């Protein structure tokens, strides 16, 4: 079940999606976190962010919508609070990938510099280029090839450790090729899809903002398609994210070209979902008659 995700050697392909698993320790009494191949921690910026006002989450048919606004304690607060526990987790062989947030290229660079300095136990870093670029009127930093390239180029100069990019679900093949050219070690896709949920009685949004990020099973077929598109466009490995509720869901991503997968919304309704999905994924791989799950990466037959 071992895979290599862009230089991060994972004992199995199951990761957790940033923002759905806290900093890992929150789940320690609910499951064996060390059974997973990796966890990706909630995104942190160079300075603390308060996030958006409540309500910030709501259920929708087939999934959920959130507008948390990447609330976080800042890299220094994160390292002080969660660092000792995450180092112990890393010592068990479960890889820790830290997500980097920012509202501008300069903010990404500063946050990454702090991560590199304060988190020696991190196997790699995930750059969340879906953060809004405030200087550009709120457009996501990675929503254009030019914006994604600028962030990736600047971050690549900071560290030789593996860098992954959490991609927005827009212009995937084109932006994926740009990120590969600028030195990304791997891609994580997809991030949530923008949507709206309206309370028809109050005529107000069900969250504090007009729009939010859709995630969950309703996004799964879209995410599988985008992973397949990215895998055909680049040679670097991909982590598939989007509506994974079962081992079969994870297997779809593998067949579409993902080297590993991240469990997201399922963590919020079944705290030990990731370990169950890992067990189901391994059982599926055995049924396929292969000795190494990497034999199934991109094995879709059309």
Q: For residue 23, what is the DSSP state? A: T
Whether 131 is catalytic is yes
143 assigned to a ligand binding site: no
18 annotated to a ligand binding site: yes
Asked whether residue 102 is marked as a ligand-binding residue, the answer is: no
Q: DSSP assignment of 158-201, as one string?
A: T-SS-EEEE--SSSHHHHHHHHHHTT-SEEEE--PEEE--EETT
- Was 192 annotated as part of a binding site? yes
Q: Is 128 annotated as a binding residue?
A: yes
Question: CA 3 → CA 11, 185, 276, distances in Å?
Answer: 7, 14, 19
Task: State yes or no: 68 annotated in a binding site.
Answer: yes
- The two tokens of residue 75 are 């890299």
Cα-Cα-Cα-Cα torsion 100, 69, 194, 55, nearest 10 degrees, comes to: 150
Residue 243 in marked binding region: yes
Which member of 98, 119, 131, 155 is catalytic? 131
Beta bridge partners of 99: 126
Residue 268 assigned ligand-binding role = no
42 is in an annotated binding site: yes
Spatial contact of 9 and 42, defined as CB atoms under 8 Å apart: no
Binding-site residues, please? 18, 42-43, 66-70, 128, 166, 190-192, 216, 242-243
Active site residues: 131
Binding-site residues for FMN, please? 18, 42-43, 128, 166, 190, 216, 242-243
Binding-site residues for substrate, please? 42, 66-70, 128, 191-192
């Amino acid at each position: 079940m071992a895979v290599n995700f862009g230089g991060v050697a994972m004992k199995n392909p199951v990761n957790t999606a940033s923002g759905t698993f806290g900093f890992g320790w929150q789940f320690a009494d609910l499951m064996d976190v060390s059974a997973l191949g990796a966890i990706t921690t909630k995104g942190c910026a160079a300075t603390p962010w308060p996030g958006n006002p409540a309500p910030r989450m709501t259920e929708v048919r087939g999934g959920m919508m959130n507008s948390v606004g990447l609330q976080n304690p800042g890299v220094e607060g994160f390292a002080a609070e969660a660092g000792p526990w995450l180092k112990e987790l890393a010592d068990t062989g479960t890889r820790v990938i830290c997500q980097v947030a920012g509202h501008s290229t300069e903010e990404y660079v500063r946050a990454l510099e702090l991560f590199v300095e304060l988190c020696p136990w991190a196997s790699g870093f995930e750059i969340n280029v879906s953060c809004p670029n405030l200087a550009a009127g709120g457009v996501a930093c990675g929503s254009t090839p030019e914006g994604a390239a600028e962030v990736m180029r600047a971050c690549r100069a900071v560290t030789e450790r593996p860098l992954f990019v959490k991609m927005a679900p827009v212009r995937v093949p084109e932006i994926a090729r740009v990120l590969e050219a600028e030195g990304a070690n791997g891609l994580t896709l997809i991030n949530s899809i923008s949507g709206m949920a309206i309370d028809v009685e109050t005529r107000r949004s069900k969250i504090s903002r007009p729009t939010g990020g859709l995630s969950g099973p309703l996004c799964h077929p879209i995410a599988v398609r985008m992973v397949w598109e990215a895998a055909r466009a680049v040679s670097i490995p991909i982590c598939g994210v989007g509506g994974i509720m079962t081992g079969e869901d994870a297997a779809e991503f593998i067949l579409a070209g993902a080297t590993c997968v991240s469990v997201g919304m399922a963590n919020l309704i079944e705290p030990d979902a990731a370990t169950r999905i890992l067990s189901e994924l391994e059982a599926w791989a055995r049924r396929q008659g292969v000795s190494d799950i990497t034999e199934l990466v991109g094995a879709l037959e059309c």
